[in-house]
Structure 1
Amino acid sequence: MKTSIDYGNLMHRAMRGLIREVLEDVAEHGLPGDHHFFITFDTTHPDVELAQWLTDRYPTDMTVVMQHWYENLDVGEDGFSVTLNFGDAPEPLYIPYDAIKTFVDPSVEFGLRFETQEEDEQSLAALPDEDDTPDTEADGAEDKHDAEVVSLDSFRK
């Protein structure tokens, strides 16, 4: 029997399902209105597929934009493939959902950020002990005990 509920992984799976559903709709109907996506992903993920010159240029992570020119969008159970234009050179990519770090649609100020377990552990290590936490917040400091699942601030105009 489990000793706890893994809310973090459940939330990540749900958020990745949302991305999949959005991409399925775009594959079927195209991007509506001013919608477009900035997708940052981990290029070191073992299932990512991209040209060697892109891997060389982006050895850890890469942000792609799906807006005016994309083709062959194929959305699968574990990831999606798409052909994007890099300086008049069309390149096919395969991005597993597990490799996605951020998914942003700035046209509606929507964004998702996925934190790795390592980042979560670093955040937890940086939290003060309960005994050291003041009863009230001072100088506008944020409560460091709240988990940040969705952050839009860095994408606002």
Structure 2
Amino acid sequence: MTRSIDYGKLMHRAMRNLIQDVLCDVRDNGLPGAHHFFITFETTHPETNIADWLKERYPSEMTVVMQHWFDNLTVTDDGFSVTLNFGDQPENLYIPYDAIQTFVDPSVEFGLRFESQEDEDEEDTASQTDSSDEEVAAPEPETADEADVVSLDSFRK
């Protein structure tokens, strides 16, 4: 059997390490300037830990915003925990990096999109390692009922 380099998995690991580095800097120094993050993650991931009422409201995925108010940011090699405010109700969340679907900082038009684990498994089955599926995307602010992901092209002049 011929050995090959799995660039897709290497790229995903590097992108998750980038998120960890950014969150460590925010933990240590706060958010600089206008920087803020939209983070969409799988609520069904076995290591995701969120309040039951949030899981009921967002049964498959959820987008959170780290901007004006967040507290208790803890960053580990596997994920991060943070306390966010939901309608004047602080809630602690634990989000593993493997559960993250998108990470966007719209203040500098930067974003990462991760394919789901199922998509990665399908690629493994087909022996494809094309990492061109990563694209820059920016979710719009979350409404009371839903969150949408839009292309950053709509923000460019």
| C-alpha separation in 2, matches of 1:13 and 1:83 | 25
Equivalent position to 1:147, from 118, 123, 132: 132
Please, what TM-score do these two structures have when normalized by structure 2? 0.80
| C-alpha separation in 1, matches of 2:43 and 2:131 | 29
Contact 2:104 2:111 in 1 (8 A): yes
- Note the C-alpha offset of 1:2: 6.2
- Hey, which bits of structure 1, 4+ residues long, moved more than 4 A? none
| C-alpha separation in 1, matches of 2:94 and 2:77 | 12
Code of the aligned partner of 1:149? E
Helix, strand or coil: the match of 2:151? Answer: helix
| C-alpha separation in 2, matches of 1:43 and 1:2 | 37
Single out whichever of 3-12 and 104-113 deviates more from structure 2.
3-12
Please, what TM-score do these two structures have when normalized by structure 1? 0.80
| C-alpha separation in 2, matches of 1:62 and 1:50 | 10
| C-alpha separation in 2, matches of 1:68 and 1:2 | 51
Note closer, same or farther for the CA distance 1:103–1:3 as it changes in structure 2 (3 Å cut): same
| C-alpha separation in 2, matches of 1:84 and 1:9 | 30
- Note the C-alpha offset of 1:58: 0.2
Aligned length: 137
Partner residue of 2:47? 47
> Could you list the runs of 5+ residues in structure 1 that have no partner in the other structure?
126-144
Tell me which structure has the larger Cα radius of gyration.
1
| C-alpha separation in 2, matches of 1:20 and 1:38 | 15
> Could you list the runs of 5+ residues in structure 2 that have no partner in the other structure?
138-149
Map 1:4-83; keep pairs closer than 5 Å. 4-83=4-83
- Note the C-alpha offset of 1:4: 1.1
Question: How much identity, in percent, do the aligned residues show?
Answer: 67
Please give the per-residue CA displacement for 1:90-119, whole angstroms capped at 9, x wherever unaligned: 000000000000000000000000002433
Partner residue of 2:143? none
Helix, strand or coil: the match of 1:149? Answer: coil
